[in-house]
């Protein structure tokens, strides 16, 4: 959701600290010190202004690493909340690492389709996306709290990454905590109007930028670990400060070209495709066939599409500017609605 759809910060602050219930559903507030997000009317003790951030949807708050408040129940809809919802949310909170199946839902006495429709209608995501957000949110919360090894943080409460630590050992032949012979990628969460992203830098170069709710996030991290022979650590780096500033300027319409240095390891063909993406002017698009033609391989359209999808530095290497030959948006790892928003932003 575009941040422009939120009221101005002063209005948000006033509504939150006055517990104005008329703003319930308009925005949600994340409290950095507790890792909890609330509705504006929450009766809990209010935190200091510098410790809060605002979100347009509960979905955005969850993928930013926050869990629902147990006092104001921001996932519930007054007057429309079914009886089964509370029990289901409690079950997810009790075991955030669990990967839910349709059979698990039936065991609780609810039909999977009913659950999916309710979450989709009220929160813009399916129940399985909610459970995935809860897992990923727990991991990001650990990163924000300063876990020393990000692979361990991701392993906590996010079962699809539970083998990541062992996988890195297998890929690079060393523990992610080992020092010396492996490169270090500093990971940090950055916020954008389209949702939180996970950014990574190695030395002075940005090597990773993906939306936190991307389905293939763990695969992209594992591929990067293989390519760079690296370990992951949470923290901050000058390159990530520059990246954050440039992303803010980009989404505000003040920046058309990023100049933060990049490191994007890949196959020779992938790098050739990514170089062509960097040549697509701001506000313009190209088709996969166009890229293949420029590469001198007109029959390699599908290979170009695969290389486009393998890009691990979203927005900066503008894979969102590549569309189908008929003008359709086609695939995008960060979801098609984001691809549409990015193109709208660049095309004014």
**Domains held by the chain: number:** 3
334, 210 Cβ separation under 8 angstroms: yes
Q: Using alpha carbons, select from 54, 60, 68, 55 the residue that is nearest to residue 96.
A: 68
Active-site residue identified among 38, 42, 207, 319: 319
Could you tell me the residue range of the domain that residue 313 belongs to?
A: 268-347
Q: Which of 251, 277, 310 is the last residue of a domain?
A: 251
Over its length of 348 residues, how does the chain's per-residue pLDDT go in tens digits? 334 467 788 889 999 999 988 888 888 998 888 888 999 999 888 889 888 888 888 887 877 668 888 888 888 766 566 778 878 888 887 777 677 888 888 888 888 888 888 887 777 778 887 777 776 656 555 544 544 444 444 443 333 333 434 433 333 334 444 444 567 888 887 888 888 888 999 989 999 999 877 767 777 888 888 888 887 776 678 999 999 999 999 999 999 999 999 999 999 999 999 999 999 999 999 999 999 999 999 999 999 999 999 999 999 999 999 998 888 888 788 888 889 999 999 998
243 and 192 belong to one structural domain: yes
Residue 288: predicted pLDDT: 94
Residue 136: predicted pLDDT: 60
CA 28, CA 15: separation in Å to the nearest integer? 11
Residue 343: predicted pLDDT: 94
13 and 47 belong to one structural domain: yes
Residue 171: predicted pLDDT: 33
Residue 277: predicted pLDDT: 96
201: left (phi over 0), alpha (psi -120 to 50) or beta: beta
Q: Using alpha carbons, select from 196, 59, 78, 62 the residue that is nearest to residue 120.
A: 59
CATH number for 275: 1.10.10.10
Answering whether pTM is above 0.85, one says: no
CA 58, CA 56: separation in Å to the nearest integer? 7
Q: Which of 132, 165, 195 is the last residue of a domain?
A: 132
Residue 134: predicted pLDDT: 72
Asked if residue 36 is part of any domain, the answer here is: yes
CATH number for 87: 3.40.10.10
Q: Which of 75, 97, 132 is the last residue of a domain?
A: 132
Rg (CA), the chain: 21
244 and 275 belong to one structural domain: no
Return the axis-axis angle of helices 127-144 and 83-94, rounded to nearest 10°: 40
93 and 199 belong to one structural domain: no
**Annotated catalytic residue 319:** yes
179 and 224 belong to one structural domain: yes
123 and 154 belong to one structural domain: no
């Amino acid at each position: 959701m575009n941040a422009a759809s939120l009221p101005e910060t002063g209005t948000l602050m006033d509504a939150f600290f006055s517990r104005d219930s008329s703003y319930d559903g308009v925005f949600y507030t994340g409290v950095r010190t507790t890792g909890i997000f609330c509705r504006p009317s929450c009766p809990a003790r209010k935190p200091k202004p510098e410790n809060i951030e605002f979100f347009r949807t509960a979905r955005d708050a969850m993928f930013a690493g926050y869990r629902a408040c147990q006092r104001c129940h921001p996932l519930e809809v007054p007057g429309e909340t079914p009886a089964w919802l509370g029990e289901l949310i409690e079950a997810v909170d009790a075991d955030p690492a669990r990967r839910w199946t349709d059979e698990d839902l039936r065991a609780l006495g609810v039909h999977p389709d009913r659950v999916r429709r309710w979450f989709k209608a009220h929160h813009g995501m399916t129940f399985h996306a909610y459970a995935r957000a809860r897992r990923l949110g727990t991991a990001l919360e650990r990163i924000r709290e300063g876990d020393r090894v990000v692979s361990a943080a991701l392993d906590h409460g996010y079962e699809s990454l539970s083998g990541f630590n062992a996988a890195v050992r297998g890929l690079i032949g060393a523990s992610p905590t080992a020092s010396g012979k492996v490169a270090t990628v500093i990971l940090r969460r950055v916020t954008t109007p389209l949702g939180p992203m996970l950014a990574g830098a190695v030395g002075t170069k940005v090597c990773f930028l993906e939306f936190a709710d991307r389905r293939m996030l763990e695969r992209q991290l594992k591929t990067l670990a293989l390519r760079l022979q690296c370990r992951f650590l949470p923290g901050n780096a000058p390159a990530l400060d520059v990246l954050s500033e440039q992303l803010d300027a980009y989404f505000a319409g003040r920046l058309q070209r990023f100049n933060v240095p990049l490191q994007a390891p890949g196959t020779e063909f992938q790098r050739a495709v990514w170089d062509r993406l960097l040549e697509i002017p701001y506000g313009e698009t190209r088709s996969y066939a166009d890229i293949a033609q420029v590469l001198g391989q007109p029959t390699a359209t599908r290979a170009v599409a695969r290389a486009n999808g393998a890009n691990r530095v979203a927005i900066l290497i503008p894979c969102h500017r590549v569309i189908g030959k008929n003008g359709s948006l086609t695939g995008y790892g960060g979801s098609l609605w984001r691809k549409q928003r990015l193109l709208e932003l660049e095309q004014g």
